[in-house]
């Protein structure tokens, strides 16, 4: 039996993505095979496509950081999950596929009654937001935060989770996303026309307690300047490295160096780099705990992921066009045609 998947054939622009057919994989001992219902298309996939993500396998390979699907076969020694159970998983690579084999301990059951598409939105964007808020920045009720890219998948997750902590929230976004940011409880700042450092001072008088910066580069120093005493800067990405064919590796290394340098200032403020993949490897129990906590919040309707687009898997190039242009408000979902309603939009 054959199945379809999308692969990165070489590193570069979105035209390197191709749909291929392979023989259906068989689960090994300790693994489950998941019939994928949907996978998220995220900025991390763009970094992989461009060859900027660490520890990538050789091409060709399938990107895809998170999946939701139904267990359709189990390997030897697997008692849970059961065949037919709906599960989510953080795959890091491989999610752009109709089927995937994963270690049984890496999949998390989706509670009954929870929308599978909303569930897959939690795996990367919401777990990252939750961990940055609670594990890294350790936010306290009522603190002020600044979110760069507040209209994106992680940004909108930070806004929803921050609202539960009654945080005072500011978010940089393009003008067309301001209404969206406001609807989630944030005060929008137009990064194209406003100096966000100056604007934060005007709006607050003395700055913010935490900045969540997924841009890196020159933003880091400016983000640091918005912090109050004992403030925390959390850098979790390097979107500023894209679009520079020359020197983008330098920009990435420079961003990491800036995070380290800022800590040498010893002025009571702190900067830290966050990676969901590294944290999952170092603290595997955290990921399970935090994802289950988020699934409970979803089942209790205390959070509702913003889904920008639902696009068929075979049109992954179109999803990457949206990612390249930072055009999505919320999460982009790729539907694999394995039983979900393909009510695609956008």
Residues 107-139: pLDDT tens digits?
Answer: 999 999 999 999 999 999 999 999 999 999 999
So what's the pLDDT on residue 263? 66
Domain span at 33: 2-121+284-335
pLDDT in tens, 300-334: 999 999 999 999 999 999 999 999 998 899 999 99
Tokens representing 196? 């966000």
pLDDT in tens, 207-239: 999 999 998 877 888 999 999 999 999 999 765
Supply the CATH number for residue 293's domain. Answer: 3.90.180.10
pLDDT tops 90 at residue 161: yes
**Inside any domain, residue 279:** no
**Residue 109 C-alpha from the chain's centroid:** 20
Q: Give the chain's mean pLDDT.
A: 91
Whether residue 191 is found in the same domain as residue 300: no
Residue 28: pLDDT band with limits 50, 70, 90? very high
**Inside any domain, residue 145:** yes
So what's the pLDDT on residue 267? 82
CB contact burial 120-149 (16+ within 10 A = b; e otherwise): bbbbbbbbbbbbbbeebbebeeebbbbbbb
Whether residue 13 is found in the same domain as residue 62: yes
Whether residue 320 is found in the same domain as residue 267: no
**pTM for this entry:** 0.92
Q: What angle do CA 188, 319, 35 make, to 5 degrees?
A: 120
Whether residue 163 is found in the same domain as residue 185: yes
pLDDT in tens, 237-264: 765 444 444 444 444 445 555 666 676 6
* Average confidence (pLDDT) over 198-203: 98
**Inside any domain, residue 58:** yes
pLDDT tops 60 at residue 344: no
**Inside any domain, residue 45:** yes
3-state secondary structure of 18: strand
Whether residue 100 is found in the same domain as residue 27: yes
pLDDT tops 50 at residue 165: yes
Q: What is the domain count for the chain?
A: 2
**Inside any domain, residue 146:** yes
**Inside any domain, residue 128:** no
Whether residue 177 is found in the same domain as residue 254: yes
Whether residue 32 is found in the same domain as residue 155: no
**Inside any domain, residue 340:** no
So what's the pLDDT on residue 168? 98
Secondary structure percentages of the chain, helix, strand, coil, to 5: 35, 30, 35
Whether residue 30 is found in the same domain as residue 102: yes
Whether residue 8 is found in the same domain as residue 115: yes
Higher pLDDT, 160 or 258: 160
Give percent above pLDDT 90 in the chain. Answer: 82
The last residue of a domain, from among 221, 241, 274: 274
CB within 8 Å of 85: residues ≥ 6 apart: 70, 71, 109
pLDDT in tens, 261-272: 676 666 889 999
Whether residue 269 is found in the same domain as residue 149: yes
**Inside any domain, residue 131:** no
Whether residue 262 is found in the same domain as residue 302: no
The last residue of a domain, from among 274, 305, 320: 274
């Amino acid at each position: 039996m054959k199945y379809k998947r999308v692969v990165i054939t070489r590193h570069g622009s979105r035209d390197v993505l191709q749909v291929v057919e392979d023989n259906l994989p068989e689960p090994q001992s300790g693994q489950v095979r998941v019939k994928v219902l949907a996978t998220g298309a995220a900025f991390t996939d763009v970094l992989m496509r461009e060859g900027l993500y660490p520890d990538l396998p050789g091409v060709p390979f399938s990107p895809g950081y998170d999946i939701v699907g139904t267990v359709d076969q189990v390997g030897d020694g697997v008692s849970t999950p059961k065949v037919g159970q709906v599960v989510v998983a953080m795959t890091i690579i491989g999610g752009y596929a109709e089927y995937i084999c994963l270690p049984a301990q890496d999949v998390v059951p989706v509670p009954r009654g929870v929308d599978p598409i909303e569930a897959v939105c939690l795996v990367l964007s919401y777990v990252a937001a939750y961990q940055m808020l609670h594990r890294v920045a350790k936010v306290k009720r009522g603190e002020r935060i600044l979110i760069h890219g507040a209209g994106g998948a992680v940004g909108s997750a930070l806004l929803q989770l921050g609202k539960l902590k009654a945080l005072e929230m500011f978010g940089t976004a393009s003008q067309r996303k301001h209404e969206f940011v406001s609807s989630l409880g944030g005060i929008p700042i137009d990064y194209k026309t406003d100096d966000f450092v100056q604007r934060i001072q005007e709006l607050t008088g003395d700055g913010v307690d935490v900045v969540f910066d997924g841009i890196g580069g020159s933003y880091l120093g400016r983000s640091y300047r918005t912090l109050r005493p004992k403030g925390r800067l959390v850098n979790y990405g390097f979107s500023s490295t894209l679009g520079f064919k020359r020197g983008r590796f330098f920009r990435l290394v420079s961003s990491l160096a800036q995070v380290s340098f800022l800590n040498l200032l010893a002025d009571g403020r702190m900067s830290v780099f966050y990676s969901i993949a590294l944290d999952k490897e170092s603290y595997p129990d955290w990921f399970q705990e935090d994802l289950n906590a988020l699934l409970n919040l979803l089942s209790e309707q205390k959070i509702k992921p913003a889904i920008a687009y639902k696009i068929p898997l075979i049109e992954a190039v179109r999803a990457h066009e949206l990612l390249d242009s930072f055009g999505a408000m919320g999460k982009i979902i790729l539907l694999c045609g394995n039983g979900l309603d393909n009510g695609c939009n956008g």
